[in-house]
Each structure stands twice: as structure tokens, then as C-alpha cells.
Amino acid sequence: MGFRVKLVASALALALAAVSVGGAQAQSITQALTIAYDHAPDLQAALLSAKSAAENVALAQAGKRPQINASISGGHGWSLVGGSVTEGDSLSTELTYGQVIFDNFKTDAQIEAARAGAEAAEYQIRDTEQTVLLAVVDAYMSVLNGRQLVALRQENVSFFQAQLQSAKDRLDVGEGTRIDVAQAEARLSQGDASYRAAVSSLEISQATFQRYVGAAPQNLDASHNYGRLIPASLQAAISAAETDHPAILLSKATIRAAQANTDTAQAAFGPTASINGSIGSSWKDSPGDGFNASVGFRISIPLYNGGAIGANVRKANIEQIKSEVTAMSTYDKIREAVISAWAGIQSADAQISAANAAVSAGRTVLDGVIQERDLGTRTTLDVLNAQAELTTARESLINASTNKVMATFSLLSAMGHLTATDLALNVQVKSAVQYNQAVDDVWQELRTVAD
């Protein structure tokens, strides 16, 4: 009995902790998602990756822009001529200019590849966002499910304790048998074990919840209105996924980048033309001070590069084909996920209906068996079995209700609609779009140097 007392105390501590943290106000799924969105390190990492990808656009655009450099140099020199030593100072300044004016459109292809890569990185943020939010819902429902199971199994333990005491009392007055007592003790031990497992599972679920949300779970409330985002038909859900899912959009952007990389590799076979110029002045102690300037051009045509150019083209072609194959696989996986989630909702609805009927029937059966046992027409084992069946039906109802919520959010994720924008979360949406626009500023670097 000492162990059972500890388990009861543990359950009460868990319940009191939830109430003390959340108070009378319940913590909704929306609140948990909102907190997790701002807290999630995976989302922040995806945002930083997108900003890094945006810099590739600026790096590629630099290939079409001039390279301007200024330099100044000076020194003090000594010379020995005819037995006499002379020395003097010198100073020179130079401004150089260089620009590629034609590279067979290689730079244009590199810019397109970089833009596609930045776009793909933006879609990766949305895909990571969906993964994070679905994981939060899973953690949320695991805690809620776990708390309901702990309460149910604690109630079950209390019932078995009462039946054990009843069996002992009946034995004392000569109306029962030692078999009834032994059977009640066995069921109580099983109930204790199930209760202990539920408490352990709940503690793990609460730790997972805190990892995603950044705070301990409060007084949770699974009610939500996101079912309104579910379309009326499976085909409509599949169509939405094909249009909106970030993984599919990411695949399309990856194909664009691969095509641009192929163009980049092929452009290496063509000529390159560039111009360059310089202007400067020099000063010395001795005569010879003056001003100098030069301008020139250069045209180069690749003839043979050890086979590297052809290898790059073949590799780029392979990577392009690979991106297209990967996109087809992504489409199939998304379609499968939509169908699976849709079926999960239908299955959960059927399970909830069946479980409700089983719970209602189980309560009636249990009450009847207890009355019949008291009249001597049923045994304690019959009562224990009826209670076990009722508990199983109630657990099935809890699990089916949890499955319905998870299937709903899984379908939203499979459609590409499990985002902060679609859910109308009160957050600042993480995006690198504004950063992309900022790095397109041609003169930003020059102003930075001037400052």
C-alpha cells in the first residue's frame, strides 16, 4: 500500500502543478503554438540559412558589376653610385577599374541559380515551420492524453481497492471466498502497474512539451476551430497540397536552380570579354614626377581545360535530372500524407462513435453486474472483468479523440496550411524576403566603406 500512496501523491503533484501554473485559465493549442513559434531554434536556424542563401544573390551579381580599387604606396630608398650615397622619398597613388562586359551569360545563369536557391531557402522556412508546429501539437496532445489516462487509471485503482475491501468484508461474513480476494488483489496489482506506466509516460510527454514550447504545460484545453480549414473533399485537399505545400514549392525552386547551374556550366564554353583601366600619379625627390593612365581590354576563348568544362556540364545535367526525380518523389509523399491524414480523420470519427457506445454500454453492464453480485448471482471476477472492459472502452475514447485532433493537424500540414499565417497566430512571421531585398542594394557596400 505504501507504493500506491506514493503513486497517488505523484499524480496529485502533477495535477496541482498544472493548476498552479495555468491557474483557472486554460492553455489552448493556439497559445502553445504561438509560444513555440517564437521559441523554436529550428525555425531560427532556417531563417538564418535563408539569409545566408540571399547573400549568394549579391555574390553572383558582383560578377556583372565593376571592381574599383584605390591604392597608395610610398617608401624611402638609398643608392650607392660612384662612391656617393643618395637617398630619397617616393609616393604613388593609383585608381583601377575592371569589369567583365561579356561572359557568354554565365553570370546571368549564376544569378538565376542564386535567386532560385534563396527562394528554396524561404520555402524551407515554411516547411520547417510546419514540422515544428505539428511536433508542438503532438507534444500538446500527448500531455493532455497522458493526463486523462493518469486520471482514468487512478480511478481504476481506486475501484479495485474498493472491490478488494468489499471481497475481504464479504469473506469475513462468510459470503465470499479467498478466490475473490486473490482475484481482486491481482487486478489491483495490474491497475497499479498500468497507473505507474501512465505517470511515467506523462512525465516524458511534459518534458517534450517544455522542450518545444519553452515552458511547462499548464491547464490544457484541446478545443480549437482549425477544423474549418479542412476542405470538403479529399480531392480538394490534394489540390491544395499540390499548390501550397512548401516542400513541393521548394522542389520547383530547386529544379530552377539546377537548370540555371546547367546553363552556367554550358556558358563556360563561350568567350569572355573584359575591360580594365587605371589612373595614378607618382612623386619622387628626384626628377621624374608625373601622371599616368592606361586602358585596355581582354578577350579569352577556352580551348582545352583538361576535360573539366565537359565534366561540369555532365555533372550539372545529372544534378538537374536528380532534382526532377526528387520533386516527383516529394509530390508522391505529399499526396500519400494527405490521403493518410484524411483517412485518419474518418477513422477517428468512427472510433469515437464506437467508443462512446462502448462506454455507455460498459457503464450499464458494470452497474448491473455489481447489483447481481450483491444478490449472489455474479462473482467478484465478473465485476472486475466488467470494470476492465469499461476502462478499455474509456481509454479507447481518449485515444480516438486524441487521434482525431492529430489527424486534423496532420492534414493541415500535408496540405501546406499548418503555418503561422494560415492559423492566424499572433506572431511576427519569420521570413527572409525583406533581407533578400536589402542585399540587392547595389551601393550598400560602397556606403559602408564611406561610413
Strand-by-strand arrangement of the 290-300 sheet: 67-81, 84-102, 272-284, 290-300
pTM score, two decimals?
A: 0.84
Could you give the CA distance from residue 271 to residue 305 in angstroms, rounded to a whole number? Answer: 14
Cβ burial, residue 92 (10 Å; 0-12/13-18/19+): middle
Are the beta carbons of 246 and 53 closer than 8 angstroms?
A: no
Q: How many CA atoms lie less than 13 Å away from 71 in the CB half-sphere?
A: 11
Instruction: Measure CA of the first residue to CA of the last residue in the chain; give whole Å.
Output: 77
| Measured CA distances, 239 to 130, 255, 331 (Å) | 18, 21, 11
Predicted local distance difference test score (pLDDT) of residue 443: 60
- The three cell numbers of residue 170 are 464479504
Residues near 444 by Cβ (< 8 Å), separated by ≥ 6? 438
- Torsion sign across C-alpha atoms 206, 208, 210, 212: negative
H or E segment at 425? none
The answer to the question of residue 241 being in a domain is yes
The answer to the question of residue 57 being in a domain is yes
Residue at 62: amino acid letter: A
From first to last of the 451 residues of the chain, give the pLDDT tens digit. 443 434 444 444 444 344 333 344 568 999 999 999 998 999 999 999 999 999 999 999 999 889 999 999 988 888 877 778 778 788 899 999 999 999 999 999 999 999 999 999 999 999 999 999 999 999 999 999 999 999 999 999 999 899 899 889 888 888 778 998 898 899 999 999 999 999 999 999 999 999 999 889 989 988 888 989 999 999 999 999 999 999 999 999 999 999 999 999 999 999 999 999 999 888 776 555 678 888 999 999 999 888 999 999 999 999 999 999 999 999 999 999 999 999 999 999 999 999 999 999 999 999 999 999 888 888 888 999 999 999 999 999 999 999 999 999 999 999 999 999 999 999 999 999 888 888 776 566 655 555 5
Measuring CA to CA, which residue among 29, 288, 245, 278 is closest to residue 129? 245
Predicted local distance difference test score (pLDDT) of residue 224: 86
Are the beta carbons of 319 and 258 closer than 8 angstroms?
A: yes
Residues near 447 by Cβ (< 8 Å), separated by ≥ 6? none
* Per-residue 3-state assignment (H helix, E strand, C coil) for 33-53: HHHHHHHCHHHHHHHHHHHHH
Are the beta carbons of 126 and 246 closer than 8 angstroms?
A: yes
- The three cell numbers of residue 128 are 520547417
The answer to the question of residue 19 being in a domain is no
Q: How many CA atoms lie less than 13 Å away from 393 in the CB half-sphere?
A: 20
The answer to the question of residue 363 being in a domain is yes
Predicted local distance difference test score (pLDDT) of residue 14: 42
C-alpha 335, offset from chain centre: 19
Dmax (CA) of the chain: 138
The answer to the question of residue 339 being in a domain is yes
For the chain, the domain total comes to 1
Measuring CA to CA, which residue among 159, 188, 173, 172 is closest to residue 370? 159
The answer to the question of residue 105 being in a domain is yes
Dihedral through CA 346, CA 348, CA 350, CA 351, nearest 10?
Answer: 160
Q: Which domain holds residue 272?
A: 26-76+84-450
Within 10 Å of residue 390's Cβ, how many Cβ atoms?
Answer: 21
* CATH number of residue 272's parent domain: 1.20.1600.10
Query: CA-based Rg of the chain, rounded to a whole angstrom?
Result: 37
Cβ burial, residue 369 (10 Å; 0-12/13-18/19+): buried
Are the beta carbons of 93 and 378 closer than 8 angstroms?
A: no
The answer to the question of residue 12 being in a domain is no
- The three cell numbers of residue 133 are 508546429
The answer to the question of residue 93 being in a domain is yes
Predicted local distance difference test score (pLDDT) of residue 215: 87
Q: Alpha helices of 245-307 — where are they, by DSSP H? A: 246-267
Q: Alpha helices of 173-278 — where are they, by DSSP H? A: 178-213, 234-244, 246-267
Predicted local distance difference test score (pLDDT) of residue 7: 41
